[in-house]
């Protein structure tokens, strides 16, 4: 299976190594920040590879505009900031400067959704919907250090705008690095079963695994599908998965409109007669602030509540 059976580890400051190793391998890659480098674990590149680091100050529009310019000069720019800023403060630059270009431009939004402790202003819970509405954009929401690092490698060779959600701080290493291979658009069954199919992406795939652990313990039949590529996703894989189950539950670290649940609903509605889809995430409301655990509990996204909500769809 793709999930490592034992040894579920946490990797501290994962992006520090991911970014450093990437820059060491590819001298065309430039890491960029808008005065948040250390807040997204960018230490080694800034210190040891200063030629591959561009600081623009607290100016996200300029961050993305300059990145697009660097791409037009032959570099592969990777901008980093919080997801709330990456999506809201420079959306036009992502669309116009990167989205209409054939050059690769990568924007990573860290502490996405409710993984930021500061409510509303730091919690970007609508970015996936915004970005997947951009023609030809690539949108990735990885679940752990393994698919995040692999997806970033793929992003570096993907033309046009690539928006990724990032992981900062202590990051899980749950996928089996030996068997997992990230491919753009591919969906990944993490647990097989029938009855309820649980589809998730990004940090919410961690939450889905946690809930699934409880359900496995209770003998509740279900399966898990991790969807790291929001756009362009392999629609046939989504359709095949949905029609193999009686009920579908989507879990996402995002508003339940326009994100993964919306995407799955759109895809299955093209076929019709799909199983019912219960969308779980941030339900058209402002999330509270606080630790992720606290916010998850508040929204019914903690493992026990998620497990209960998954079971409920069969009642």
Partner 1 sequence: MISNSEKRIKTLELWAAKMRRNVVDICMQRGGYAGQGVALSDVGACIYFDEMRPDGSGWYHDRFVNSNGHDTIINFAAMAEMGIYTLEELRTMGADGSPIDQSPIEGARGFEITSGSLGTGVSQAAGIALGERKKGSDKRVICLLSDGELHEGSVWEAFMFAAHYKLSNFIVIIDNNDLGATGKTSDVMAVEPVRDKMEAFGFAARQINGNSIPEVLDAFEEARSTKDKPYAMIADTKIFAGIDVYQDAIPFAHFVGANGRWDTGHLEWEPGWQEILGKIEHLESELAAME
Q: Which residues bind partner 1 (CB under 8 A)?
A: 51, 54, 56-57, 59, 61-62, 64-75, 77, 92-93, 96-97, 100-102
Q: Which is nearer to partner 1, 93 or 111 (CB)?
A: 93
Cα torsion 17, 22, 23, 24: sign? positive
Work out how close the CB of 157 gets to partner 1 at its nearest, in angstroms, rounded to a whole number.
19
Burial (Cβ within 10 Å: 0-12, 13-18, ≥19) of residue 116? buried
- Provide, rounded to whole angstroms, the least separation between the CB of residue 64 and partner 1: 8
Q: Pseudo-torsion of CA 172, 178, 179, 182, nearest 10°? A: 70
Nearer to partner 1, 4 or 30 (CB): 30
Instruction: Using the minimum distance from each CB to partner 1, give the nearer residue, 56 or 307.
Output: 56
**Min dist. Cβ of residue 128 to partner 1 (A):** 23
- Considering beta carbons, is residue 57 or 304 the nearer one to partner 1? 57
Of the candidates 138, 152, 253, 134, the one whose C-alpha atom is nearest the C-alpha of residue 202 is 253
Closest to partner 1 by CB, 92 vs 312, is: 92
Which residue reads 């879990």 in tokens?
251
219: alpha, beta or left? (left if phi > 0; alpha if psi -120 to 50) = left
Give the shortest CB-58-to-partner 1 separation in angstroms.
9
In angstroms, the CA 231 to CA 261 distance is 13
CA–CA separation, 177 and 70 (whole Å): 32
Q: How far is the CB of 288 from partner 1 (least distance, A)?
A: 31
């Amino acid at each position: 299976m793709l999930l490592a059976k034992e040894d579920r580890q946490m990797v501290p400051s994962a992006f520090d190594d991911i970014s450093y190793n990437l820059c060491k391998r590819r001298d065309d890659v430039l890491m960029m920040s808008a005065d948040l480098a250390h807040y997204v674990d960018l230490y080694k590149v800034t210190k040891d590879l200063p030629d591959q680091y561009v600081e623009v100050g607290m100016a996200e529009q300029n961050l993305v505009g300059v990145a697009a310019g660097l791409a037009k000069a032959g570099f592969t720019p990777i901008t980093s900031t919080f997801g709330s800023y990456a999506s809201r403060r420079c959306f036009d630059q992502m669309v116009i400067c990167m989205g209409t270009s054939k050059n690769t431009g990568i924007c990573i939004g860290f502490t996405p959704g409710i993984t930021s402790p500061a409510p509303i202003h730091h919690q970007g819970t609508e970015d996936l919907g915004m970005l997947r509405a951009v023609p030809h954009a690539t949108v990735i929401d990885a679940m752990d250090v393994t698919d995040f690092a692999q997806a970033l490698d793929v992003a570096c060779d993907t033309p046009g705008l690539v928006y990724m959600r990032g992981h900062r701080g202590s990051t899980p290493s749950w996928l089996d690095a030996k068997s997992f291979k990230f491919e753009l658009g591919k969906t990944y069954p993490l647990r097989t079963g029938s009855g309820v199919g649980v589809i998730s992406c990004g940090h919410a795939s961690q939450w889905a695994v946690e809930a699934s652990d409880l359900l496995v313990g209770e003998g509740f039949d279900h399966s898990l599908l991790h969807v790291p590529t929001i756009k362009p996703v392999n629609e046939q894989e989504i359709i095949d998965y949905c029609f193999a189950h009686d009920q579908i539950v989507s879990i996402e670290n995002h508003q339940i409109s326009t994100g993964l649940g919306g995407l799955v609903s759109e895809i299955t509605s093209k076929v019709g007669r799909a199983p019912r889809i219960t969308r779980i995430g941030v339900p058209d409301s402002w999330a509270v602030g606080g630790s992720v655990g606290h916010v998850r509990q508040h929204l019914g996204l903690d493992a026990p509540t998620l497990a209960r909500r998954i079971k409920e769809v069969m009642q």
